[in-house]
Amino acid sequence: MNPAHPLDNVRVVLSHTSHPGNIGAAARAMKTMGLKSLCLVNPKSFPDKEAERRAAGAWDILTGAMVCADLGEALSGTILAAAITARPRDLSHQVFDARRGAIELLGYARQNPVALVFGTEMSGLTTLEVSKCQMVVHIPANPEYSSLNLASAVQLLAYELRMAAEPGSFSSAIGMTSVAARFEEIELLFHHLERVAISSGFLDPQEPKRLMQRIRRLFARARLEKEEVNILRGILGACEKRMNTRGVISTDDPAMPDK
Amino acid sequence: MNPAHPLDNVRVVLSHTSHPGNIGAAARAMKTMGLKSLCLVNPKSFPDKEAERRAAGAWDILTGAMVCADLGEALSGTILAAAITARPRDLSHQVFDARRGAIELLGYARQNPVALVFGTEMSGLTTLEVSKCQMVVHIPANPEYSSLNLASAVQLLAYELRMAAEPGSFSSAIGMTSVAARFEEIELLFHHLERVAISSGFLDPQEPKRLMQRIRRLFARARLEKEEVNILRGILGACEKRMNTRGVISTDDPAMPDK
């Protein structure tokens, strides 16, 4: 049997939320990142139509939400709770930024339930609430305007947890199913390009300067695919053919200038 | 004099946004992370009371927002644009996850304007819109429910940009002695290339297939410099001239085959 996915062990706790729309938006944010467990401490209005509307397709999170009378009840069974705050405070706690906090939390979530605790929209968590958590996580923000929407804060932490849960699995910056061109294919492209640059009159072979060096540098950055080399050589070949075809005639007409 | 902060060079482009509330929430999300420049392509309703309400304290972003008729106008002056998509798509550009994409973008934003491009709430970006960008960024999400709210997507990317901007956190090493080509310069290159592909007989304009899409993808990866665009257009122009010059003669000789 597979052990539970660590994200299944993460509980999102929203304390005394004022706007039901934010509860719905938080549920949606959780679900987009694969979090499932929502706990509401004394929400102002729940259930609520506005929460349902903003939850979009995350109704399952809303309907499964647990409603608690206080934070102690909401944290029951967890082994680690992180108080999410706008800025570091209360120096008695260990303070992490969102990224490191997520990594730390997830390490524990592999075995046991952990919690993220968010306060009210207006004033965040009380000192008493923070004191019930074992760590403080702050979200790096603009010091002149750090007023994150509650659901946005949930979104960022949920995202960091997902990133921490699956390191490396989303990071490939590669163009999918394509086949990379081989060295010799790219060399033939360069020769072809140089030939056309000369026959078109753009490049003077007596004074080539660094043209081909620049072109090599450009295409080196692109990491050419086999199919792309074929396309570029196809265009070059078509230009060459058209130029040469005309060229056969022009030799019959020496008065015709080359340019 | 201090150079501009790289975040000041990041333009957030929202294309055809349906709900004005999302525009306001996006403005707020931007401001929390220190982004300032918002551009709206053909929004359904703007200015709008609901946008102002959701912007909370980010009115300055809203009132400074630029409204454009199309994406080309919105990207004018940028040297790198990232299409934000829910998932990597067919024949896509170089694909980055949000973290690596932010690092890549920020590397360029230290010198020049760059853009993040977000599509509509319902259907995201069109293929044509994606084709005008040079990279694709996707936000890692729950594969069973990847429906991020638009403002949440803006929040996550803005956050990753801020994280990338913090000293010590970026690793992208770019040779910056060169001058990056601007969006409109690269568009002119594509038009030129297409014209030559057609006039050389390589591309049948009646059946273009996906040729230009492939070429866009190739050069998007290369992050063209101004000087490179000049070289490529110089070669194209020389070929064109040679083909046309000969073409004047060939009309005198209808027996001469084109191929």
Considering CB atoms only, which of A163, A201, A234 is closest to B242?
A201
Residues of chain A positioned with their CB less than 8 A from the CB of B256 = 245, 248-249
Residues 6+ apart with CB under 8 A from B81: B13, B75, B114, B115, B116, B117, B132, B133, B134, B135, B183
Task: Report d(CA A59, CA B108) in Å as an integer.
Answer: 41
| Ranges A40-49, A107-116, B58-67: which has the least confidence | A107-116
Render the burial of A101-119: b for 16+ CB within 10 Å, e for the rest: bbbbbbebbeeebbbbbbb
Whole-number pLDDT of residue A220: 76
Across residues A185-191, what is the average pLDDT?
Answer: 90
Does pLDDT of A60 surpass 70? yes
Three-class SS of A154-188: HHHHHHHHHHHHCCCCCCCCCCCCCCECCHHHHHH
Whole-number pLDDT of residue A249: 42
Whole-number pLDDT of residue B93: 73
B214 and A CB contact within 8 Å:
yes
pLDDT tens across B70-83, in order? 999 999 999 999 99
Does pLDDT of B176 surpass 70? no
Look-up of token digits 């809303």: A62
DSSP for A76-106, please give it: TT-SEEEEEESS---TTSEEEEHHHHHHHHH
Phi, psi dihedrals of residue B94, rounded to the nearest 5°: -60, 125
SS3 at position A118: strand
> Which of B89, B93, B202, B244 has the most A C-beta neighbours within 10 Å, making it the best mutation to test the interface with A?
B202
The neighbour count for residue B179, using CB atoms within 10 Å, is 13
Question: Does ipTM top 0.85?
Answer: no
Max mean pLDDT among A4-13, A165-174, A250-259, B29-38 falls in B29-38
Whole-number pLDDT of residue A87: 67
Does pLDDT of B12 surpass 80? yes
| Ranges A98-112, B33-47, B209-223, B238-252: which has the least confidence | B238-252
A242 and B CB contact within 8 Å:
yes
Three-class SS of A11-34: EEEEECCCCHHHHHHHHHHHHHCC
pLDDT tens across B133-143, in order? 989 999 999 99
| Ranges A183-187, B41-45, B196-200: which has the least confidence | A183-187
pLDDT tens across B202-248, in order? 999 999 888 998 898 889 888 899 999 999 999 999 999 999 875 44
pLDDT tens across A144-156, in order? 999 999 999 999 9
B255 and A CB contact within 8 Å:
no
Whole-number pLDDT of residue A156: 97
DSSP for B122-189, please give it: TTB--HHHHHTSSEEEE----TT-----HHHHHHHHHHHHHHHHSTT--------SS-BPPHHHHHHH
Closest listed residue to residue A121, CA positions, set A12, A21, A11, A10: A21
Phi, psi dihedrals of residue B194, rounded to the nearest 5°: -65, -40
Domain range B6-165, its CATH number among 3.40.1280.10, 3.40.50.300, 3.40.640.10, 3.50.50.60: 3.40.1280.10
> Which of B36, B221, B229, B230 has the most A C-beta neighbours within 10 Å, making it the best mutation to test the interface with A?
B221
Question: Is B24:B130 a contact under the CB 8 Å cutoff?
Answer: no
Sheet holding A10-15, edge to edge: A66-68, A37-41, A10-15, A114-118, A80-85, A135-138, A94-97
Query: When comparing pLDDT for B181 and A87, which is higher?
Result: B181
The neighbour count for residue A184, using CB atoms within 10 Å, is 8
Query: What amino acid is encoded at B129 in this protein?
Result: E
Residues of chain B positioned with their CB less than 8 A from the CB of A151 = 149, 152
Matching fold, domains B6-165 and B183-250 = no
Confidence of residue B34 (pLDDT cuts 50, 70, 90): very high
A183 and B CB contact within 8 Å:
no
Does pLDDT of A158 surpass 80? yes
Task: Report d(CA A199, CA B118) in Å as an integer.
Answer: 45
Share of chain A above pLDDT 70, in %: 86
Whole-number pLDDT of residue A194: 95
Whole-number pLDDT of residue A254: 38
Does pLDDT of A252 surpass 80? no
Residues of chain B positioned with their CB less than 8 A from the CB of A140 = 159, 162-163, 166
Domain range B183-250, its CATH number among 1.10.8.590, 3.30.70.1060, 3.20.20.370, 3.10.20.30: 1.10.8.590
pLDDT tens across A196-241, in order? 999 999 999 998 888 888 888 888 778 788 899 999 999 999 999 9
Whole-number pLDDT of residue B121: 94
Whole-number pLDDT of residue A246: 58
Whole-number pLDDT of residue B150: 97
Do the chains contact at B245 and A259, CB–CB below 8 Å? Answer: yes
As a whole number, the mean pLDDT across chain A is 86
Closest listed residue to residue B35, CA positions, set B153, B158, B118: B158
Do the chains contact at A29 and B152, CB–CB below 8 Å? Answer: yes
- Return the bridge partners of B12, or none: B38, B116
Provide the residue ranges of all domains of chain A, joining segments of one domain with +: 6-165, 183-250
pLDDT tens across B110-140, in order? 889 999 999 999 999 998 899 889 899 999 9
Task: Report d(CA A240, CA B200) in Å as an integer.
Answer: 8
